[in-house]
Amino acid sequence: MVVKKRNSVLNVVIVFVISLFALPLHAQEPDAPAAAENSAAAAPAESGKRLFGVIPNYRTVDASIPFSTLSAKQKLNIATHDSFDWPSYVFAAALTFATPSSKDQSASYGGGVDGFLNRYVRSTADQITGNMLSEGFMPVVLHQDPRYFRPGTGSFGSRLASALSQIVVSRSDSGHRTFNASEWLGNAMAVGISNTYSPNLNSWSARTQKWMLMVSTDTFSNVMKEFGPDLRERLLPHRHKSK
């Protein structure tokens, strides 16, 4: 009974935190005269807001376009849209469903539908917290650019190398190459926050594993951002040309 009450309180707290993170989506809306400028600097170059109409793709830009610095408002807008777009919740549900619960998780979260929902709420909170910190708040604090700069041309190897390297190397607000501290520190902080409501993160090994999983997910996201438009063109050539 105590465990159930504790889980119910944690769920309420997590939902409240998610609601707080959602505030920038409304509070940071640009004024009408600045809307065109914001969309030009922050919008994806060619593949739209979602890859295949599903995967959030708000922070991809064409690497050939001259670099322009993002404001703090634009960084938070990118992170907020990337975190709260509806496919993000579907992805979190699929990831929760695909990840089997261990005996420890079953004991902590419960089984059946209640256990699934319990894990889903925490997984969604982890995803949102990681995105907001690594793509929004940390880039603002560290003066780094959270966008993925897509080459779009060149050999497969060079483009893959670009997708992988941008997890480690980002651009500063001045356009210079720098260590992507926002990615690594942001996700590390997200794991620390997750530790307050995830009972299975009871060791350094478990926390490190979760940290690497979050970074690996972002790495895979970069690869999809790089090659997703090519796959769409191959799979849906007529639809691609008509747009």
Tens-digit pLDDT profile for residues 227-238? 988 887 787 765
Residue 176 or 118, more confident = 176
Residue 103 or 127, more confident = 127
1 burial via Cβ count (<10 Å: 0-12, 13-18, 19+): exposed
CA angle 220, 226, 231 (to 5 degrees): 100
pLDDT number for residue 52: 59
pLDDT at 34 over 70: no
Residue 190 CA: distances (Å) to CA of 62, 122, 207, 225, 236: 29, 12, 10, 23, 37
pTM over 0.85: no
**Token pair for 187:** 């996700």
What's the mean per-residue pLDDT of the chain?
A: 78
In the chain, % of residues over pLDDT 70? 68
Helices (H), the chain: 2-27, 32-42, 72-84, 86-98, 103-109, 112-131, 138-142, 156-165, 181-194, 204-235, 237-242
pLDDT number for residue 35: 39
